[in-house]
Amino acid sequence: MNTIIKKPGFGELVEKKSKFLSEAYHIETVEEAEEYIAQTKHTHYAAKHWVYAYILDNGAMVKYCDDGEPQGTAGRPLLDLLHNMKLTNCIVIVTRYFGGVLLGTGGLVRAYTDSAKLALENCEFSVFTDGVSIVADVDYTNFEEFKYKVNQLNTRLVNEIYADNDEIQGITLNDKFLRVLRITDIEYTDICRIHLICTDEVKDIFVSEITEGFAGKIELDVGDTELIELIYE
């Protein structure tokens, strides 16, 4: 299961007259990470420190930089935050405008971590995992009930299967609800052809409950396993 940043986030924190500006982005390469760092330094050329951390390929490549702050007080806490949130292919950068007041070791760790959290809380995330595409041919008389059943099943299965999943729960969801089973498209012809995706973990339960609940009146065509995107709504 891979969690990435879908939409970048930004934050601002003031601590004892120092201003901390944070930004978090999705990246695919080291070169892209370096471009974001260079861009930030250019934009905030008058700042004192440009601290960053990034992760690529589920930890195959990691890097962090304290940029003149005491060792272990800036870049490393940012990297730890990314690890704790189970993120990959992402970079977080925190720019510090020094306010003239020393924060101390603990104060620096808190300020950089809290600033990065603000940017990440303002991001949108995507989770990619193994799943399947399903096509359901539904008669119009069963259409509304089928949609209700899909939403009901999603709620139940999230609570039953994913409640203790650290990779899911590690993300700040901003009160949005995880969709492990969702409708992606509907074709309206003589019947309703409904396209869905779901995770491998819920596939068999969904097929069983739809088949039994509608007494075989709904035809389901289940595709092969592929990488699908979970979303939060």
For the stretch 54-68, pLDDT in tens is: 999 888 999 999 999
Residue type, 151: N
Query: What does the block give as tokens for 233?
Result: 């709504």
What is the architecture, at CATH level 2, of domain 127-232? 2-Layer Sandwich (3.30)
What does the pLDDT look like over 79-102, one tens digit per residue?
A: 999 998 889 999 999 999 999 999
Structural domain spans, the chain? 2-122, 127-232
CB atoms within 10 A of CB 211: 14
pLDDT of residue 45: 96
Q: What are phi and psi for residue 138, nearest 5 degrees?
A: -120, 130
| Measured distance CA(193)–CA(18) in Å, rounded | 57
How far from the centroid of its chain's Cα atoms is residue 78's Cα?
A: 17
In the numeric block, which tokens belong to residue 125?
């995330």
Cα 180 from Cα 232, distance rounded (Å):
9
Helix (H) or strand (E) holding 33: helix 30-43
pLDDT above 70 for 167: no
Checking if the pLDDT of 168 tops 70, the result is no
Element (H, E) at 89: none
Alpha-carbon distance values, 66 to 115, 134, 161 (Å):
15, 48, 40
> Global pTM?
0.71
Cα angle value 62/64/69 (rounded, 5°) = 170
Would the pLDDT of 179 be above 90? Answer: no
Write down the H helix ranges in 65-141: 75-84, 104-121
Q: What is the mean pLDDT of residues 208-230?
A: 90
Q: What is the CA radius of gyration of the chain?
A: 22
pLDDT in tens, 66-77: 999 999 999 999
Bridge pairing between strands 124-138 and 181-188: unpaired
pLDDT of residue 170: 43
In this structure, of 18-22, 144-148, 159-163, the range with the lowest mean pLDDT score is 159-163
pLDDT at 177: 63
d(CA 178, CA 155): 8
Average pLDDT in the 189-203 region? 92
What are 195's two structure tokens?
């396209």
pLDDT at 169 (0 to 100): 46
Across residues 179-189, what is the average pLDDT? 91
129, 228 in Cβ contact below 8 A? Answer: yes
CATH of 2-122, one of 3.30.420.40, 3.10.129.10, 3.40.50.880, 3.30.230.30: 3.30.230.30
- Report DSSP state, residue 59: G
Q: How far are the Cα atoms of 19, 78, 179, 192, 200 from residue 62, in angstroms, in the given order?
A: 26, 11, 30, 48, 30
Q: What is the mean pLDDT of the chain?
A: 90
